[in-house]
Amino acid sequence: MQNVRLLLEPRGPVVGMQPEPINPLAQLPAEPADKPEEACGVFAVLATDQAVANLTYFGLYALQHRGQESAGIAVFDAENQVRLHKDMGLVSQVFDQEVLQRMPGELAIGHNRYSTTGTSKVCNAQPVVLNTRLGPLALAHNGNLVNAAELRQAIAAANPDTEFTSTTDSELIAFALQNAVDQGLDWADALREAAGRCRGAFSLVIGTPEGLFALRDGHGIRPLVFGYLGESDQSQWVVSSETCGLDIIGARYIDDVQPGELVHFRLGDATPIRSQWCQEPVKLCVFEMIYFARPDSRFFGESLYSYRVRIGEALARENPIEADIVIGVPDSGIPAAIGYSQWSGIPFGDGLIKNRYVGRTFIQPTQAMREAGIRVKLNPLPDVLGGKRVVVIDDSIVRGTTSRKLVHALRDAGATEVHMRISSPPVTHPCFYGIDTDTQDQLIAARMTLEEIERHLGVDSLAYLSKAGMVEAAHSASSNFCTACFDGNYPIELDDSVRSSKLMLEPAGLAVSNRA
């Protein structure tokens, strides 16, 4: 095997090193999230005469909404040495200009991660970097495998000396790729071989000595796009989870990496090499449209802001109510609230102010603050809401805890009536493809009837957008979306062991998310 140096930055342990001790503060109990949480964002740049680490930093900054727990960048220099820096925290906390200046090169792979359950560990941060007979690889993954336990067993059986240093399925994909390369395949064939061993959702960016690869699972559950910097003949390529990552660095969008497609970008090539490695029915996660992706990101040729306004209009058509003001829960509920207002004729207002600097924290509030709850992130305006019949628009309800506190806060602010409208159907099933929803017994819509949820939340009325209204507003065939969290129709078959546990890779007694 070729011996390739891996240059480590001062912070951020990497594969092959002992993981840092677990932060005891990370084990303090925190109130569970009341929204589905995205797993991660990926970004990559292949360019000459560019500060690729800096460009990747800004790409990850634009994708920060997709993951706030850890961030990492791996950079290949001209001699195929890889400098890797990754750590816990936001992109702006993990990187500074001094660190980025120590990472010169022509190819960078970046990753943001979000893990919403259990202990946080630096060894689970990405990119994953491994050596192969053809040189190093750096891999970043958005999604979740449903056959991770099976794949891990197969990798361990084929090579008993394999040292697993994380509990992520992303590392398993990297090991599968390493094994395929070491068995004699070239990079492209090895990627097809490794991808064929994976079941689930995976949008990947992979750095190699032969350039940059981007690959998407056959269903295209998670998004992945690419474009170029400057003039097209400069061959400066960028791959991102969303178009907003291209926009921030001035890259021009070319196309989506299509479901089941492998794209190979090489320095000096004005056109990437595109090939189809598998073909499955397209099943883009509809929650990317409703909630996860940034409203300025483009899907199906338009910004998601436009789609979210339309689902608000559909919500108003399906569920009218007499009221004085429409407000949205910031930020994702605002476009739908504008659409609801436009269709219904009820004035739109800013009734809730969001603290935009609230992030993930291990500092627990006092019990009194917990009871006030919603005001940590959202504060209602009494002079806007006082004496009003209020329609409040939100994108989803998972547990109902935050929604209940929100309703209480609106009544405290003087709202005489509170009518809640949700711009998606009831969430009744957990996701296994890269979104951290709860187990089914914790999903309020799976446990309660509509009337019971109304009473639990304390609203005067509650209504959800229909599944038909949700998909019709996308101006795309309904069969092109994964809607499993609303109807339980999972496009990829799930074993009972997967359904029963989201922590299958963890040692006994250690609760850590296995999500990418």
Catalytic amino acids? 40
Evaluate whether 397 touches 422 at the Cβ level (below 8 Å).
yes
Q: Which two tokens stand for residue 116?
A: 């919403």
CA dist 399 and 336 (Å) reads 21
Evaluate whether 222 touches 143 at the Cβ level (below 8 Å).
yes
DSSP code of residue 291: I
Respond yes or no on whether the N-terminal peptide bond of residue 383 is cis (omega within 30° of 0): no
User: How buried is 271 (Cβ within 10 angstroms: 0-12 exposed, 13-18 middle, 19+ buried)?
Assistant: exposed
CA dist 312 and 168 (Å) reads 37
Q: Which two tokens stand for residue 185?
A: 């395949």
CA dist 425 and 450 (Å) reads 12
CA dist 377 and 271 (Å) reads 46
Q: Which two tokens stand for residue 510?
A: 């250690």
End-to-end CA distance of the chain: 28
φ/ψ region of 20 (left if φ > 0, alpha if ψ in -120 to 50, else beta) reads beta
- Residue 63: HSE in the Cβ half-sphere, 13 Å Cα cutoff: 37
CA 139-516-495 angle, to 5 degrees, is 115
CA dist 335 and 395 (Å) reads 10
User: Residue 129: CB partners within 8 Å, gap ≥ 6?
Assistant: 6, 14, 15, 74, 82, 84, 136, 137, 138, 139
Nearest in space to 173 (alpha carbons), one of 211, 217, 121, 218 = 217
Nearest in space to 2 (alpha carbons), one of 72, 82, 68, 69 = 82
CA 318-322-327 angle, to 5 degrees, is 80
User: How buried is 418 (Cβ within 10 angstroms: 0-12 exposed, 13-18 middle, 19+ buried)?
Assistant: buried
Q: What values do phi and psi take at 72, rounded to 5?
A: -160, 150
Helix or strand (DSSP H, E) at 217: none
Respond yes or no on whether the N-terminal peptide bond of residue 127 is cis (omega within 30° of 0): yes
